[in-house]
Amino acid sequence: MPIEVKVPSVGESITSGVLGVWNKPDGSYVKAGETLFEIETDKVTSEVVAESAGQLKHLVKAGDTVKIGQVVASIDEKAKAPAETPAEAKPKKEEANGSAKTSRVEASAPVAATAARGKNADDLSPAVRYQTAEKGIDPASIQGTGKDGRILKGDVLAAAEKGTGSASSAPAAPRPAGEKTSRRKMSPLRQKIAARLLAAQQETAHLTTFNEVDLSNIMALRTKFQDRFVKKHEIKLGFMSFFVKAVVHALQVVPAINARIDGDEVVQNNFYDIGVAISTEKGLMVPVVRDADRLTFAGVEKEIAAYAKKARDGKITLADLEGGVFTITNGGVFGSLLSTPILNPPQCGILGMHTIQERPVAISGRVEIRPMMYLALTYDHRLVDGREAVTFLATVKEVAENPAAVLLEV
């Protein structure tokens, strides 16, 4: 009897989702451990793998709404695996009479054919075909990293981030006559994001205060120690680790912001799990850096890098997103000069970072050009007063401008 493939549970509060894409076509032979499909919920996107080898049969279509525990496919274990294509014969040993040159030329033909694999539409996996079509990317413009140069899903996502081969760089195709608009259903994740943002504005007394920070000292530290930092920790020293540390210090100075409202009670947090917003193709996610006060700068950078990779690969879990006490979001990576971030309930504070600009500023009676960044703190005025909010942001500014203070714990 064929094995049933069911939609797994991805969280206690999640009861349904959308089968986003089939990674293996109907009727194909799959191996144990291969990814079958992606399930998109209102919180995370998860991959489901085959528990055993056999012939796959689809029972639902990509884009269908499915319930947790629903049978969406079956695997026939009794089906025979297709015969593998025998490896091409190696070139004969070159003779001493000068035939080496001929052998190399003849051998180059199968190599060229191998390099071309994965570029034709018929050679692409269903997931890659779906992603390239959705993002308007020409597969021929992507350098595959899979076996024999095959294009993987990650290659498409990386190309989309860089804008490589995207339709935006090519002349726009003429619009079909009579089609001025198009419609598509919002993904469960986007629906959840929309609902949370609206609720945050309606259910909190949010207010934003601003300041600016001189990043000269941070940039000097990064320039001075970057090579040694990378050599020792195998990761770059970015700006985010400085601001995570600055936020932890500020939360210790102003504990009122490290709290939340629960009914008519105030819940005071005595730990420092900091959410860092990450933009993905499916929407904004906020994975949480646990116990940020106990991590080194390298530890913070590695945590953020690991979460970013999981987000790109669609492997963020519900546990990664829960339990944060404060959020940092960086619109500066997209060029934002100034914005008012929206709270991430039930947290009562969120820090917005922005783009770095060289601007003239007054330093000890002189005008100097410094790398400046605007900071924005949005807070819940029901729990946090203006004095506390301004003190918090001023503390972040002070630590960012004097990062040695974190190391000296002053």
Structural domains of the chain, with CATH: 3-76 (2.40.50.100), 118-167 (4.10.320.10), 196-408 (3.30.559.10)
Q: Following DSSP, what letter does each residue of 142-208 receive, concatenated?
A: S---SGGGPPPHHHHHHHHHHTTT-GGGSPPPPPPTT------PPPHHHHHHHHHHHHHHHHS-EEE
Is 381 noted as a catalytic residue in this protein? yes
Q: Residue 269: name the closest of 289, 296, 291 by CA.
A: 291
Is 138 noted as a catalytic residue in this protein? no
407 three-state secondary structure: helix
Could you list the pLDDT tens digit for every one of the 410 residues in the chain?
788 998 888 766 677 888 878 888 998 999 988 889 888 776 677 788 888 899 999 998 888 888 888 898 999 888 888 876 555 444 444 444 444 444 443 433 343 333 444 455 546 665 566 566 666 677 777 877 765 677 776 677 777 766 644 444 455 556 666 678 888 777 777 777 788 888 888 889 999 999 999 999 999 999 999 999 999 999 999 999 999 999 999 999 999 999 999 989 999 999 999 999 988 777 788 999 999 999 999 999 999 999 998 888 878 888 898 899 999 999 998 899 999 999 999 999 999 999 999 999 999 999 999 999 999 999 999 999 999 999 999 999 999 999 987 776 66
Q: How much is the CA Rg of the chain, to the nearest whole Å?
A: 26
Left, alpha or beta for 113 (phi > 0: left; psi -120 to 50: alpha)? alpha
CB 254 within 8 A of CB 395: yes
**For residue 204, which amino acid is it?**
T
45 three-state secondary structure: strand
Of 26, 64, 291, 385, the active-site residue reads 385
**Structure tokens given for 339:** 């914005």
Left, alpha or beta for 314 (phi > 0: left; psi -120 to 50: alpha)? left
CB 274 within 8 A of CB 327: yes
Nearby residues of 116 by Cβ (< 8 Å), 6 or more positions away: 149
DSSP letter (8 states) at residue 270: -
